[in-house]
A and B are shown apart, each in its own frame.
Chain A
């Protein structure tokens, strides 16, 4: 009954460091996405994927890379972390296009960049 699993739950980085936020889902969903949540800003889409091998940019893609080599996994990479990337990151998945809106979310990864 895992659903969408994100790791790590908490991470502290120094400016300029790199890291990868992991996301895995066991529901065989084609559609996966990454959002960031900031106070007073709601959720904003970073990147999304409609299937293995296919990714595209969302509203705030700068500073982030993604890849989708399997249906199950959708990692988010920060190549050179900046304080502006301090946020809570959510991975989500859906069995159909995100347009239907029935997204299943992970529990979030809280990232602090010093």
Chain B
């Protein structure tokens, strides 16, 4: 079945550092790919998405490119801020009629001033 694997956390960075959180997926067909973010004590929010190969999703300085050849959707940000501290989830929705979103296990990011 469909699955998402993302890098184990936690990740701790200093402010203005470069961020990469790796995400790879297994799916049949052409899934849509997403990054969700969960700030402390809150529900998840959609951060960005890409619906076809080579699409780049971007939002709030974060970017991720849908790479079908490597089945990857890595999240990047050039300069993180303390306010980016959160848990980040990679997710996919399949094309095979499944109505569910498949999530990775989440990566906790802490940014120190």
Give the B-binding residues of A (Cβ under 8 A): 4, 31, 33, 35, 40-45, 48, 50, 56, 58-59, 90, 92, 97-103, 105-108
Given A105-B45, A107-B41, do A99 and B103 touch, yes or no (CB 8 Å)? no
Contact B100 A45 (CB under 8 A): yes
In the complex, A35→B101 CA distance in Å? 10
A residues within 8 A CB of B28? none
Give the A-binding residues of B (Cβ under 8 A): 4, 32, 34, 41-46, 49, 89, 91-95, 98-101, 103-106
B residues within 8 A CB of A4? 43
A residues within 8 A CB of B100? 33, 45, 48, 58-59, 98
B residues within 8 A CB of A92? 43-44
Contact B45 A98 (CB under 8 A): no
Contact B99 A50 (CB under 8 A): yes
User: Of the candidates A42, A98, A99, A100, which one forms a contact with B105 in the assembled complex, judged by CB atoms under 8 Å apart?
Assistant: A42
Contact B32 A48 (CB under 8 A): no
A residues within 8 A CB of B91? 101
B residues within 8 A CB of A42? 4, 89, 103-106
